[in-house]
Amino acid sequence: MATIKIKKLPSGNIVSPKGFTAAGVHCGIKKEKKDLAILVSEVPASVAGVFTTNAVQAAPLKVTKEVVYQSKKMQAIVVNSGNANACTGKQGLADAYEMQALAADKLGIEPLLVGVASTGVIGEIMNMEPVKKGMAMLSPSSECAGGIDFSEAILTTDIVMKNTAYSTIIDGKEIIISGTAKGSGMIEPNMATMLGFITTDASIETSVLQKALSEITNVTFNAITVDGDTSTNDTVVVMANGLAGNGVLTPQHPEWDQFYSALRLVAEDLAKSIARDGEGATKLIEVEVEGAISHEEARKIAKTVVGSPLVKTAVFGCDANWGRIIAAVGYSGATVDPDKITIKIGGATMVENGEPILFSEEELIEILKQDDVKINVSLGVGEGHGFAWGCDLTYDYVKINASYRT
C-alpha cells in the first residue's frame, strides 16, 4: 500500500479549498456578536449530510434535507445563530424557506441548491427583519477573513472558533479539505448539538461522499459527548465542488485512502474541538478502549465512560477515582469480564486484570491537572478498539445553562 501523505494547513479555514467563499455579519438576531453567515461554492457541489436523530427536528433541517436528499447538489448554505428556529410550527418552516429563498435570490441560483442551518434558543419565532437586513450585508469572500467571519457568526456559547484544514495530492492535483463547526453544550451525538461544515475541491459523486461521511461520523462526531442531551438542530454538511481537477474519486481509486483519511482527520479535529469547548470545560478527556468484543462495543464503552457525570467531575477535581471509571464500564451494556479489566490514567496503571494497583496520588494529580486527560481501558475479551471524547463538568457549566435564555 502506498504511503498516505497528508499535510495539515495551520491557517486553513472553510474557504481554503478552490472555489469557496464565505461571510459573516451581525444583523441583530443577537445583541452584539455576529449572527448571520453564508458559505458559497462557485459551482453546484456534490453534497452529503448527517443530521440529528432527535424525533423533534428544527425547521432548517427539513429544508436542508430536501437539498441533500432530493437535489443531491448544494451551492450555498445560510446559517444563523441566536435562534434555533426549532419547535416553531408552520411559521418556523415558512421562515426557514424564506431564508433559503433570500439567499438563492441574492446569489442568483435555484432555492433547492441552498441549505439552511440555525442554532440558538429553541421555541422562539424567528424575527425575519434582521435576517433580511443581514442578507443584504453579506459579501462572500475567498479571503481568509471571510472564513473567519463565517466561523464566528455560527457560534453560541462557544468560547473559541473551530477551524481545521488538510491537503493531499490526488492524480497530481492538490486537494484541500477544510472544516468549521460550532458546539459546546447539549452535545450527545447521534449527533451532537452542533453545526459542522466541511468543504473540499475534490471531485467525488454525491453517493460516494455520503457513504464516506456516514462512516466517518460514527467514529468522530458520534464519539463525543458533553452533557448527554441531544439537540434538535444538529447538522454536518460536506460540499465537494470538484474544482481541484482530479479524477472522480471512488473507493476503487488508487488514491482513495488519501481523500478518506484527510476527510476523517478534518472530522476528528472538529469533534475534538467541540468536546474541548464544552460549556465551562477546562479539559479534554479522551477514552480509548481496546480488547472489546467488537469495535462498536469499544466505542460504546468509551462513550459511556467519557459521558459519566461522576467521571467528568472527578477529572475536574483532579481526583483519581478509578472506581467511577470501572463502574461506567460495567453499566455500559457491553460484554465485559471484571477479572480482565485494566485501567490507566495518563499512562499510570490503576487497575490490572481486575486488581487494584498502588499508585502515587501526587503523580495522578499532576496528570489530571493537564489540559488533555487520557483514560485507557483494556478489556481482554476480544479485538474491538474505539475512542470517545468529552470534557470535564464544571461549576461554570451550571452557571451558563442556568441562564441560557437571559
Burial class (CB in 10 A: 0-12, 13-18, 19+), 173: middle
What is the DSSP track for 119-178?
EEESS----HHHHHHHHHH---BSSHHHHHHHHHHT-SS-SS-EEEEEEEEETTEEEEEE
- The answer to whether residue 401 scores a pLDDT higher than 70 is no
DSSP 8-state symbol, 379 = -
All residues at 6 or more sequence positions from 29 whose CB lies less than 8 Å from its CB, including other chains:
35, 36, 80, 81, 82, 83, 120, 126, 127, 130, 131, 134
- The answer to whether residue 306 scores a pLDDT higher than 50 is yes
Give CA 52 to chain center in angstroms: 12
More confident residue, 66 or 277: 66
CATH of domain 6-274: 3.60.70.12
pLDDT at 251: 97
For residues 398 and 169, give the distance between their C-alpha atoms in angstroms, rounded to a whole number. 46
pLDDT at 190: 38
> In the chain, pLDDT over 70 holds for what percent of residues?
92
- The answer to whether residue 385 scores a pLDDT higher than 80 is yes
198 bridge partner residues = 179, 238
* pTM above threshold 0.85: no
- The answer to whether residue 394 scores a pLDDT higher than 90 is no
169 bridge partner residues = 174
More confident residue, 381 or 398: 381
Q: CA nearest 37: which of 20, 51, 54?
A: 20
- What's the mean per-residue pLDDT of the chain? 90
pLDDT at 53: 74
pLDDT in tens, 180-194: 999 754 334 433 358
Element (H, E) at 107: helix 89-107
pLDDT at 280: 61
For residues 135 and 155, give the distance between their C-alpha atoms in angstroms, rounded to a whole number. 18
C-alpha grid cell for residue 31?
Answer: 445583541
Average pLDDT over residues 296-301: 94
Burial class (CB in 10 A: 0-12, 13-18, 19+), 42: middle
Residue 200 bears catalytic tag: no
For residues 217 and 268, give the distance between their C-alpha atoms in angstroms, rounded to a whole number. 9
Task: Write out the residue limits of the CATH 3.60.70.12 domain(s) in the chain.
Answer: 6-274
Average pLDDT over residues 19-31: 97
Q: Which of 84-93, 255-264, 381-390, 391-400 is the least confident region?
A: 391-400
- The answer to whether residue 111 scores a pLDDT higher than 90 is yes
pLDDT in tens, 237-265: 999 999 999 999 999 999 999 999 999 99
For residues 82 and 126, give the distance between their C-alpha atoms in angstroms, rounded to a whole number. 9
- The answer to whether residue 281 scores a pLDDT higher than 80 is no
Q: Which of 105-114, 148-157, 229-238, 301-310 is the least confident region?
A: 229-238
DSSP 8-state symbol, 258 = H
At residue 120, φ and ψ (nearest 5 deg) are 145, -145
The residue ranges of DSSP E strands in 235-380, in sequence order, are 235-240, 284-292, 342-345, 348-352, 355-356, 372-378
Task: Write out the residue limits of the CATH 3.10.20.340 domain(s) in the chain.
Answer: 284-402
What is the DSSP track for 188-222?
-SSS-S-EEEEEE---B-HHHHHHHHHHHHHHTGG
- Compute CA distances 215 → 260, 271, 275, 379, whole Å: 10, 14, 20, 25
C-alpha grid cell for residue 250?
Answer: 471512488
- Catalytic residue selected from 193, 199, 220, 225: 193
pLDDT at 398: 66
Top-level class of domain 284-402: alpha beta
C-alpha grid cell for residue 328?
Answer: 461506567
All residues at 6 or more sequence positions from 358 whose CB lies less than 8 Å from its CB, including other chains:
none
Q: Which of 8-12, 144-148, 182-186, 221-225 is the least confident region?
A: 182-186
Peptide bond into 191 cis (omega under 30): yes
For residues 363 and 314, give the distance between their C-alpha atoms in angstroms, rounded to a whole number. 15
Element (H, E) at 243: none
